[in-house]
């Protein structure tokens, strides 16, 4: 069985919907050295690294899953009683 790569993304670059299909393009920041006015610096470029296409049913599942994850990870911890 072929190994499926894991791709880290930094942002949602493009989103759209057409003909019943959700289209998402994710980007990743690439940090590149460059010289400006004789000084070395690092610039960031966003590069499209993943294109996802899915039907509306799958998009709804992703929406619900992300909503739950975000809610769980951004709510304060429950207080516990100390004896």
* Residue ranges per structural domain of the chain: 11-74
| Residue 22: CB atoms within 10 Å | 19
How many residues are recorded in the chain?
Answer: 83
DSSP 20-52: TEEEEEEEEEEEEEEEETTEEEEEEEEEEEEEE
- Over range 12-19, report the average pLDDT: 96
- The pLDDT of residue 32 is above 80: yes
Q: Could you give the 3-state DSSP secondary structure of residue 53?
A: strand
Mean pLDDT of the chain: 92
- pTM of this prediction? 0.73
- For residues 23 and 17, is the Cβ–Cβ distance under 8 A? yes
Looking at residue 65, what is its pLDDT?
Answer: 98
């Amino acid at each position: 069985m072929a190994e499926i790569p894991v791709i880290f993304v930094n942002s949602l670059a493009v989103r759209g919907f057409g003909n019943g299909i959700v289209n998402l393009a994710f980007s990743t920041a690439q940090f590149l050295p460059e010289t400006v006015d004789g000084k070395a610096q690092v610039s960031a470029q966003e590069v499209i690294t993943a294109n996802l296409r899915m039907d509306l049913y799958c998009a709804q599942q992703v929406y619900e899953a992300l909503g739950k994850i975000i809610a769980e990870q951004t709510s304060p911890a429950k207080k516990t009683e100390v004896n």
